[in-house]
Amino acid sequence: MIPELGHLALILALCLAVAQSVFGLAGAYWRRADWMGVARPAVAGQFVFVALAFGCLAASFLANDFSVNYVALNSNSALPAFYRVAAVWGAHEGSLLLWILVLATWSLAVAALSRALPETFIARVLGVLGLISAGFMTFTLATSNPFTRLLPPAMEGNDLNPLLQDFALTIHPPILYTGYVGFAVAFAFACAAMLEGRLDQSWARWTRPWTIVAWMFLTVGIALGSWWAYYELGWGGWWFWDPVENASFMPWLAGTALIHSLAVTEKRGLFRSWTLLLAIFAFSLSLLGTFLVRSGVLISVHAFATDPARGVFVLTFLTLCIGGALTLYAWRAPKLGSSAGFELWSRESFLLFNNVLLVIAAALILLGTLYPLFMDGLNLGKISVGPPYFRAVFLVPMLPLLALLGVGMHASWKRARLGDLKGPLLLGLIAALAIALGASLWAFGRTTTLALVGFTAGLWIIYSALREPLARLRKRQSLSAAVLGMSIAHFGVGVFTIGVAGVEAYKIEKDVALKPGQSASVGGYDFAFRGLRNVEGPNYSAIEGEFNVTRNGHAVRVLHPQKRIYRVQTSPMTEAAITVGWTRDLFVALGDQLGGDAWSVRIQYKPLIRYIWLGAVIMAFGGLVAVSDRRYRSVRVTEAAPAGSTARDPA
Amino acid sequence: MTPRRKRLLVVLGVLAGIGIASALVFRALSENMMLFYDPSQVVAGEAPHERPFRIGGMVTKGSVARDTGSLEIRFVVTDFKHSVPVTYTGVLPDLFGEGKGVVAHGRLTRDGVFAADEVLAKHDEKYMPPEVAESLKGAPQSTT
């Protein structure tokens, strides 16, 4: 009964989404207030029914209703309740439902928080959101219905993929999707502006906070995924340039470019058509990402849906969405463009370079991700593009971007006079280089180009980001939340850069064969293998090793890596043991029994790896601070004020 | 320098940068393209000796062997028509096992043994690397 209720709720939600888009778009076109009035209640109703459908699926999981095919495939009565809820989005069908729920939530937020916006504009925004929602619901109902019954019902479920039975991965998809789907709002705002034929600075001010919030979630979501891959996959890497990871990283790059270009559009009224295009790109890449992962067309170690029949629908939907938006762009954007120029040395041009470099980075990753698909499609052989490609080409746009970031933060709008800043910034650069050299020699005993360049860039950006807020604090001047947020986010970039440089330059990864009683030395730490014991979990049995880690005879930590066998899927899982530190992580994973009582053991020394995720979290926090800026909450008031009254705010 | 000449110089500089960058990108792409071969192609001599590539198929039952206490492992990858011996040193992925799908990256040595530097196992019971699925299509599946 409950699954049928969920199915019905989803169908009703689809009807409401169609109503929302038809009445919203048509009402705005013919200026019918009564039609436009339908859009908001339709959004609310859609949210209620989608939430109901989602709740029904979750209830089926909690009740262990194995007569539902999806539940039977992804749950088990021995699975802890927490993971049973998380199993809702553990595979293709449920994660689509989650996508729809997140979109409904964003739509509801837009409908509720946009009272100050012109009625036709918001009707169009909701109309576009309704179209996207209707597309996804049709896809789910037609090809991937999570409520399909299984006849006869299964006695017991197949259990959730053990890799997904983990805290970080249970919250990773909702957060990542909140980011992905959030770009739908920016996309809808862009489409509405083009339909409206009007794009001014207040448009950018409405769009900015939504985009920043979406970007924040995406940042945290990607960081969580990377952290999960690090400790759960048992390889100890933090980024594999896997197509699934690339799929989430490309929208992030486009979204980051969008945030910066929106700043120019808001403050100076420039880059208008470019901003629109970026909003389209960011969402298109999100869609592509969702589908690339979900359709299983990619050769990837963690794509878990493989059904080519869905591909046709996906391709059609992508073409309609992206093609429609680009057609609209080609038709309307020329009218919305800006003609004012700007000086070469100005914040505008720094942000232009930022945009160009970020888009190049996204394009290079897209090339590497899709190239195997093209080759395969054209029957030119099966290939895959390896991580060395991504590592090499990603640095091409990123190094100049980091270099420009340090200066660009201090450039003012229209025309920057960097003369009086040249001295301090150059001095900062030299100091950063000296510290980088000294610190790497002192801490690691040797230095590499990568470490030197990375540490210098990171330290310099940190210095540059802190300069302005600290100077204002010293002079007891006020600091707007937007400027503070920007400084914090860029500080995060510096921290992240230092982390990446530290890990990539100084990591030590060693696979060794050890018997109980033997020990191995990695990175100045001694790992003594004490022995093994058996451990019983709720739905798994495990063999647990004990490693006593010491440094120069001083105890550091006792680590307990596990090799788990999940009872239902009988697949082994490596649970690495990690000791976390400000300067380094130590990572121990059990491999296989090598015959006798010897085991293969993976031991890794990962200096500064925590700063990678810390940097990402700081970036996201910067976004949060920037969004809290007062001017976003008083759109109406500032709209009445003459444009440019806030133009001195460098944000 | 007039602003016009300044701008021209900047544009030229940017164009040169783009040119060099795209040359580097395509070099990186062609150098890091990894071709995939199935065991039949390798046995037929279609696979290169001079550059690394990927091989994929099933791990033949009973073929996994190692010297006690050694990290070096030997196994045979098959597409049920032809087989190729593989060696690898290190920790294997969790889902590696006899009768399961596998993709290995490495080089083919002169004596026809594939020396792998990376071994990927199929992700779960349902998922199989698409190339492996492709190369097993039509092959007798009874051994699994």
With pLDDT > 90 as the criterion, what percentage of chain A qualifies? 61
Cα distance between residue A203 and residue A635, in whole Å = 10
**Which of A383, A396, A594 lies closest to B36 in CB terms?**
A383
Selection from A395, A353, A364, A397 nearest residue A261 by Cα: A353
Of the given ranges (A82-86, A329-333, A334-338, A476-480), which has the lowest mean pLDDT?
A334-338
Q: What is the pLDDT of residue A131?
A: 96
Cα distance between residue A490 and residue A66, in whole Å = 49
Cα distance between residue A207 and residue B3, in whole Å = 35
Instruction: Report the residue of A233, A306, A364, A389 to disrupt the B interface, i.e. the one with the largest count of B CBs within 10 Å.
Output: A389
**Which of B21, B94, B124 lies closest to A574 in CB terms?**
B94
pLDDT tens for each residue of A463-508: 999 988 898 889 988 888 999 999 999 999 999 999 999 999 999 9
Q: What is the pLDDT of residue B135?
A: 55
Q: What is the pLDDT of residue A45?
A: 97
The per-residue pLDDT of chain A, averaged, comes to 88
Indicate the DSSP class of residue A163: G
ipTM: 0.78
pLDDT tens for each residue of A452-462: 999 999 999 99
Contacts of A574 in chain B (CB under 8 A): 94
Q: What is the pLDDT of residue B1?
A: 61
Query: CB–CB of B122/B99 below 8 Å?
Result: no
Selection from B105, B69, B90 nearest residue A234 by Cα: B90
pTM (2 d.p.): 0.90
SS (H, E, C) chain B: CCHHHHHHHHHHHHHHHHHHHHHHHHHHHHHCEEEEECHHHHHCCCCCCCCCEEEEEEECCCCCEECCCCCEEEEEEECCCCEEEEEEECCCCCCCCCCCEEEEEEEECCCCCEEEEEEEECCCCCCCCHHHHHHHCCCCCCCC
**Helix (H), strand (E) at residue A641:** none
SS (H, E, C) A180-225: HHHHHHHHHHHHHHHHHCCCCHHHHHHHHHHHHHHHHHHHHHHHHH
Structure token pair of residue A565: 């066998």
Q: Which residue bears the tokens 């009807």?
A: A15
Q: What is the pLDDT of residue A465?
A: 94
Question: Which residue from B minimizes the CA distance to A597?
Answer: B69
**Which of A385, A389, A511 lies closest to B71 in CB terms?**
A511
pLDDT tens for each residue of B98-131: 888 888 989 999 888 999 998 887 654 344 445 5
Cα distance between residue A453 and residue A437, in whole Å = 10
- CA distance, residue B84 to nearest chain A CA (Å): 19
Residue A55 pLDDT > 80: yes
Of the given ranges (A309-318, A639-648, B62-71), which has the lowest mean pLDDT?
A639-648
Q: What is the pLDDT of residue B102?
A: 87
Cα distance between residue A599 and residue A592, in whole Å = 6
Contacts of B38 in chain A (CB under 8 A): none
Range A81-103 average pLDDT = 92
* Helix axis angle, A387-408 to A481-506, nearest 10°: 140
What is the band of A96 on the pLDDT scale with cuts at 50, 70, 90? very high
Count the helix, strand and coil residues of chain A and give each as a percent rounded to the nearest 5.
65, 10, 25
From residue A26, alpha-carbon distances to A17, A116, A290 in Å are 14, 21, 29
Contacts of B120 in chain A (CB under 8 A): 301
Range A202-219 average pLDDT = 94
| B92, burial (CB in 10 Å: exposed 0-12, middle 13-18, buried 19+) | buried
Range A209-223 average pLDDT = 96
- CA distance, residue B31 to nearest chain A CA (Å): 8
Residue A240 pLDDT > 60: yes
Range B49-72 average pLDDT = 87
Instruction: Report the residue of A76, A158, A571 to disrupt the B interface, i.e. the one with the largest count of B CBs within 10 Å.
Output: A571
* Amino acid, res. A168: A
Q: What is the pLDDT of residue A313?
A: 80
Q: What is the pLDDT of residue A157?
A: 87
More confident residue, A242 or A426: A426
> φ, ψ for residue A520 (rounded to 5)?
-130, 150
Cα distance between residue A286 and residue A178, in whole Å = 11
Torsion sign, CA atoms A71, A75, A76, A80 = negative
Range B27-42 average pLDDT = 84
Contact A383 B124 (CB under 8 A): no
Contact B93 A234 (CB under 8 A): yes
pLDDT tens for each residue of A361-414: 999 999 988 888 777 777 777 778 888 889 888 988 999 999 999 888 888 888
Cα distance between residue A18 and residue A24, in whole Å = 10
pLDDT tens for each residue of A279-308: 999 999 999 888 777 665 554 333 334 456
* CA neighbours closer than 13 Å in the CB half-sphere of residue A292: 25
Q: What is the pLDDT of residue B56?
A: 85
Residue A134 pLDDT > 60: yes
The helix/strand/coil state of A511 is: strand
What is the band of B87 on the pLDDT scale with cuts at 50, 70, 90? very high
Whole-angstrom Cα Rg for chain A = 26
| A570: region left, alpha or beta (phi > 0 left; psi from -120 to 50 alpha) | left
Instruction: Report the 10 Å Cβ neighbour count for A464.
Output: 25
Q: What is the pLDDT of residue A110?
A: 95
Structure token pair of residue A129: 């959101």
N- to C-terminal Cα separation, chain A:
54
More confident residue, A126 or A241: A126
What is the band of A649 on the pLDDT scale with cuts at 50, 70, 90? very low
More confident residue, A339 or A304: A339
Query: CB–CB of A403/A432 below 8 Å?
Result: no
Measured in whole angstroms, how far is the alpha carbon of residue A244 from the centre of its chain? 11
Q: What is the pLDDT of residue A351?
A: 92
pLDDT tens for each residue of A13-23: 999 999 999 99
Torsion sign, CA atoms A490, A492, A498, A499 = negative
